[in-house]
Amino acid sequence: MNTLCTLEQILVRDYGVAANQVTPDATLESLGLDSLSMLELMFKIEDRYGLKITEDMPTDMQTVGDVVVFVDGLITRKPELAVLSARPP
């Protein structure tokens, strides 16, 4: 399962976002995510992927695609964790 699909599952399940709204170009604001929601989302991503986000979260993430790129970058930097991304939610 790719990062976009995983993110879609989290947004649908935990934030009540309609699945058809979750596209790479969808803005986080249009999906109803504020700064607190983004922080919570990062905790959920940490749990899901077995990551620890130790760096500051970028402040320029505006879209779902931005989040996907950020998460994929974390996974790429931690190759041993890439296997964890395949585990079911």
**Containing domain of residue 29, as a range?**
3-86
User: What CATH number does the domain containing 70 carry?
Assistant: 1.10.1200.10
Residue 18 clears pLDDT 90, i.e. is over it: yes
pLDDT band at 83 (very low <50, low <70, confident <90, very high): very low
The pLDDT of residue 15 is 95
Structural domains in the chain (count): 1
Q: What is the pLDDT of residue 74?
A: 84
Does 79 score more than 60 pLDDT? no
Q: Tell the residue number behind the tokens 């976009």, with chain if given.
A: 4
Of 77, 15, 89, nearest in space to 52 by CA: 77
pLDDT in tens, 40-77: 999 999 899 888 877 677 778 999 999 999 999 888 87
- The residue with greater pLDDT, 58 or 35, is 35
What are the two backbone dihedrals, phi and then psi, of residue 27, each rounded to the nearest 5 degrees?
-80, 150
Give the per-residue pLDDT at 12: 97
pTM above 0.85, yes or no: no
